[in-house]
Amino acid sequence: MAIVNVTDQTFETETSQGVVLADFWAPWCGPCKMIAPVLEELDSEMGDKVKIAKLDVDENQETAGKYSVMSIPTLLIFKDGEVVDQVVGFKPKEALAELLNKHL
């Protein structure tokens, strides 16, 4: 499954079913750029079990505010529409995979 870009309008729909890793990011954010290839790798390895959604916080402030995102990257893990875990800042692929596997 490919990584999905979401907006304030599509966020609820895209995170409502299954396990979803939502990446709150911005184009100017250095650590966000560092985590992007990690998310690509996770998607290629776990994409059949986990959806990865990216939300640009500059363009979608309503959703970022709703989930109290204060610093980026913030990764929220949803299971059937409910937040079950949160990570702030860069994390290596292995740590993220381990976190996701807890919720599968």
Across the strands, what pairs with 50? 19
Cα angle, residue 70 at apex, residues 94 and 1 outer, rounded to 5°: 40
In DSSP terms, 75 is beta-bridged to 23, 87
d(CA 74, CA 86): 7
Active site residues: 29, 32
